[in-house]
Structure 1
Amino acid sequence: MRFALIVVGLVLLVAGLWVVFGHGSYQTTDTLVQLGSAKITATHDKAFPQWLGIAGIAVGALLALGGIFRKG
């Protein structure tokens, strides 16, 4: 159980840092025009919100520290 807490905490910590430093993004596709079966779409890259990265860092650090200092 300790090992799982540490691993999950470190993964969340690294993912949070990745988002905070601006590398985390996702793509959305919008349909601009559709005429019958033909359509024109646009794909946009959007960044994850900054608060999501900060939350990932905080939760990841708490889980990792909880796993390190847990007795058992």
Structure 2
Amino acid sequence: MRLILIIVGLVPLVAGIWVVAGSGTYHDTETIVKLGSTALKATQDKAIPQWLGISGIVVGAILVLGGFMGWFKRK
């Protein structure tokens, strides 16, 4: 159970670091003009917000630390 908590915590921790480092982007497609069945679309790369990366780091760190604290605190 503790090992699962550590592994699950590493996922948002690493993803949060990736976003804060500036590598996190996603594609956004907008329809500019639509005339009948023809449409003109524009696709832009947008950055994932920094607050989302920071919250991922915080949540991931709490889960990983919780897993390690449980690991060392054996009855």
Which residues of structure 1 form unaligned runs of 5+? none
Match of 1:34 in 2: 34
Amino acid in the other structure paired with 1:23:
S
In structure 2, C-alpha distance between the alignment counterparts of 1:52 and 1:26, rounded to whole Å: 13
Amino acid at match of 1:48: I
Partner residue, 2:49: 49
- Partner Cα separation in structure 2 for residue 2 and residue 12 of structure 1: 16
Give, in angstroms, the shift of residue 31 of structure 1: 0.3
- Which whole-Å CA distance do the structure 1 matches of 2:38 and 2:63 have between them? 50
Aligned length: 72
Task: Give the aligned CA root-mean-square deviation in angstroms.
Answer: 1.0
Consecutive unaligned residues in structure 2, runs of 5 or more = none
Separation (CA, whole Å) in 1 of partners of 2:55 and 2:64: 14
Q: Deviations over 1:15-63 (max 9, x none)?
A: 0000000001111100001111111000011111101111100110110
Offset at residue 3 of structure 1 (A): 1.2
Aligned structure 1 segments of 4 or more residues deviating by more than 6 angstroms: none
Shift of 1:2: 0.7
Aligned partners of 1:44 and 1:4: how far apart in 2? 37
Q: Which residue of 1 aligns with 2:66?
A: 66
